[in-house]
Structure 1
């Protein structure tokens, strides 16, 4: 059973949209059809704004929403140091091996965006 917060973020995702002057990073999980475009605006090495447009399952959508909220204000270096365990801790539910790509789609896409 999904934690209620995950279902709430799936039904009413946060930080949805585009940032006009930022080129999005695209991510896809081919195994289940999830896709996302994530916009990361940085100023002087700090993450100032994050928006996304996603067509994804509940786990992927929730993880992207959580990530987009938590990384605002972080430095690019701090974002680079985030890992799988950090993201799974943020979700707060057990993720099966088959759903791991869903849970990590946002983190992998954001980390690609800053490179």
Structure 2
């Protein structure tokens, strides 16, 4: 077993920041209909505008090890960081996962997220790895954060054929509130 497999297994068996916590500014629920993964994710943002910070991310995830582990990595990578930096991590993760194996990922930007580089070769699994990240960006929007300025700076590789991932993942953010 290589180091990346160990990282994914560790985050899957012992997901960090799991369990829904308060306070929170938004809660969303996303489902991957392809494999049945589900995540309910809460985000708490401190401050406003460009100086806003992701104060907390908590979640309840059920599904495959890739989905659970990727959501755990997400929480580790964004909590305590500025929203702009957190969204840059999302874009870097999405770019790597939708590159079909071309982008090895940048450990400085996505930390343990580089362990998921091999997932990019399996399109059905990309949706699993992006589920928590998509929920995170949705939760930021629900919390009133304008993510449009950052999301327009999407790296070219992030707009590949797999950019339909968002459309394939259904969500009901407000229905559960």
TM over 0.5: yes
Please identify the structure whose Cα radius of gyration is greater: 2
Q: TM-score normalised to the size of structure 1?
A: 0.88
Aligned to 1:19: 21
Larger strand percent: 1
| 1:48 partnered with 2:55 | yes
SS in 2 for 1:28: strand
Offset, 1:21: 2.9
Q: Post-superposition shift, 1:18?
A: 1.4
Unaligned runs of 5+ in 1: none
Q: How many angstroms does 1:107 deviate by?
A: 0.7
Pick the aligned partner of 2:31 from 28, 33, 38. Answer: 28
Aligned to 2:166: none
For the residues of structure 2 that align with 1:35 and 1:80, how far apart are their CA atoms? 21
- Partner of 1:94, secondary structure, is helix
| SS of structure 2 residue aligned to 1:21 | coil
Unaligned runs of 5+ in 2: 98-103, 106-112, 142-177
TM-score normalised per structure 2: 0.59
Q: How does 1:44-83 map to 2 (within 5 A)?
A: 44=47, 45-81=52-88, 82-83=90-91
CA distance in 1, matches of 2:138, 2:69: 19
What RMSD over aligned residues (CA atoms) do the two structures have, in Å?
Answer: 1.9
Could you tell me which residue of structure 2 aligns to residue 85 of structure 1?
95
